[in-house]
Amino acid sequence: MTASRTRFILEPMNVHYLGFGKIEIDGVRYTEDVVIDHGTVIAREKDASRSLKASYGHTPLSEREPIPWNCSTLIVGTGAHERLPITPAVEAKAHALGVSLQAMPTARACELLNGADLTSINAVLHLTC
């Protein structure tokens, strides 16, 4: 994982799913989950959600970790086999904030992020299962 990168808002983002556990964003390869917040790519801070793993069978996306809610659409890449659970509290918060929560396989999420309007779309991308 490399340091976070900030981009010009109008610059299109190039996101490519390279296969299980690997994506490339603007030529930089990532092998761990990432969050995209208005074009800034940072590591997903999932440690806060790890205590929920036993309940979900996998570390879920939960309200305990930083989620980039400052958008109209939050794309969640749920992994190669769609195994990333999303807690009901995250779904409820999205609804309360008026954020469209769109969960899908990470490969599809990467396709949607190419050329996306980064002023209104953020993402959480799970790279494995």
Q: Is 85 part of any domain?
A: yes
Q: Is 2 part of any domain?
A: no
Q: Is 58 part of any domain?
A: yes
- DSSP sequence for 76-107: EE-TTTT---B-HHHHHHHHHHT-EEEEE-HH
Q: Is 107 part of any domain?
A: yes
User: Beta-strand (E) ranges in the chain?
Assistant: 15-19, 22-25, 28-30, 34-37, 40-43, 73-77, 100-104, 121-125
Instruction: Write the CATH number for 36.
Output: 3.40.1230.10
pLDDT tens, residue by residue, 83-121: 999 999 999 999 999 999 999 999 999 999 998 878 899
Is residue 12 scored above 90 in pLDDT?
no
- Report residue 44 as tokens: 């997903």
Given pLDDT bands bounded at 50, 70 and 90, which one contains residue 11?
A: confident
Domain count, the chain: 1
